[in-house]
Amino acid sequence: MGKRVAIVGVGNGKFGKRHGFTARELAHEAVKEAFEDANLTPKDIQASVISIAGEQFASQGAPAALINDYVGLTGKPTIRVESACASGTAAIRTAYGLISSGLHDIIMVIGVEKMNAISSAKATELMAYAGDTRWEYPYGVSFPGFYALFATAHMKKYGTTREQLSMVSVKNHHYGAKNPKAHLQKEVSLEEAMNSVPIAAPLNLYDCSLISDGAAAAILVSEDLAKKITDTPVWITGIGAGNDTMLIAERESLTSLKSARDAAQQAYKMAGIGPENVDVAEVHDCFTIAEIIAYEDLGFAKPGEGGKLIEEEQTYIGGKIPVNVDGGLKAKGHPVGATGVSQAYTLVKQLRGEAVVQVDGAEIGLSHNVGQSGQFTNVIIYSRDKKLK
């Protein structure tokens, strides 16, 4: 067993259409808050891990060096990681390994994406490149199309309904409206969600996450250092990572993500807990069907019963397992490289009892971060208790 690892500081900039701000400026916004949160300065940091998925979004090759300089970490070793939409948790996983192994004791993790410097159509095209560029992208398949396939399959196999998809959107907009850092701070009625503009049947506008600009940051430290920095560290007690076939046509199922199931099992085993022990979760709701599938892959519901879980409002605060109470990707926003780190921000705040929308007594949090259409999934378990159960 390597060194235990904790998060002692977090920052999250405002998500949205941040016109006039570059990726480096967005990163600085989150890093500044993380330093203030931990009462640390750049001189305290030994290294950085930077998550930024799209060089074309940033209009900058090798953006990690530029960001490292701009946030005051010149001279500190830095590494950039990329796992599509799961890049943020891949960065946390990388930093965890570097600290657990003893190579470093304190690392700044930065996730950032500047997506609105180009048109929505161009952004959708760039993201579609993450599909197979020989057998998928040339035939017009973009990510709404992939998740429309998942939704159609889930509806056919399990009877999941159009209303249940929209109920996910209603919930996440309900909480996003309360989050001052969310991209869309507005409530949405079930009627609005169900009758919005079609995107890729059966998905419509309110089933799709946002093209957002933003950044998040987290400071990870070894156990010995954590004790010196704060009385309220949040420990990383479980990490799992999974993978699946690149081609959707080769998947064993279109109603579940094997990578997510594998990652969850690894994380639960490492933490010594089960899904019933999780008090609050952040899941990758890039589309509403993705949240319903996540309920099932993570063990919060049996296969085919994810729709029932949202219909019974069991994923609201006060229900069986509160999910995405910051608005999720659907309302908070989805700046690709920042998303997984922003999930950590939310869960650290929850477990400290400092969240804007608080789950009372939360002690264990789980993040589920999917890259592409399930080619990558990382699941991380956070706890106020550093001990494995």
28, 154, 284, 334: which one is catalytic? 334
User: pTM for the whole thing?
Assistant: 0.97
d(CA 294, CA 367): 11
CATH topology of domain 5-118+211-229: Peroxisomal Thiolase; Chain A, domain 1 (3.40.47)
Q: What is the pLDDT of residues 107-121, one digit of tens each?
A: 999 999 999 987 778
167 three-state secondary structure: helix
> Are the C-beta atoms of residues 106 and 7 closer than 8 Å to each other?
no
Q: Which residues of the chain have a pLDDT value below 70?
A: 1, 386-389
Whole-number pLDDT of residue 1: 62
Whole-number pLDDT of residue 387: 60
Whether 85 is catalytic is yes
Whole-number pLDDT of residue 262: 98
Whole-number pLDDT of residue 135: 84
85, 173, 208, 284: which one is catalytic? 85
Packing angle, helices 258-271 and 288-297, rounded to 10: 50
Whole-number pLDDT of residue 389: 44
Whether 284 is catalytic is no
Q: What is the pLDDT of residues 123-155, one digit of tens each?
A: 777 777 778 888 887 888 889 999 999 999 999
How many CA atoms, within 13 angstroms, populate the side-chain half-sphere of residue 325?
A: 26
Question: Percent of the chain having pLDDT more than 70?
Answer: 98
Task: Please report, for the chain, the start and end positions of each structural domain, with discontinuous segments joined by +.
Answer: 5-118+211-229
DSSP string, 301-349: S-TT-HHHHHHTTTTSTTSSS-B-TT-HHHHT---GGGHHHHHHHHHHH
222-227 long-range contacts, CB within 8 A, separation 24+: 222/3, 222/4, 222/5, 222/6, 222/99, 222/102, 222/105, 222/106, 223/3, 223/4, 223/5, 223/6, 223/386, 224/3, 224/105, 225/8, 225/105, 225/106, 226/6, 226/8
157 to 83, 147, 201, 256, 302: CA distances (angstroms)? 30, 15, 17, 11, 14
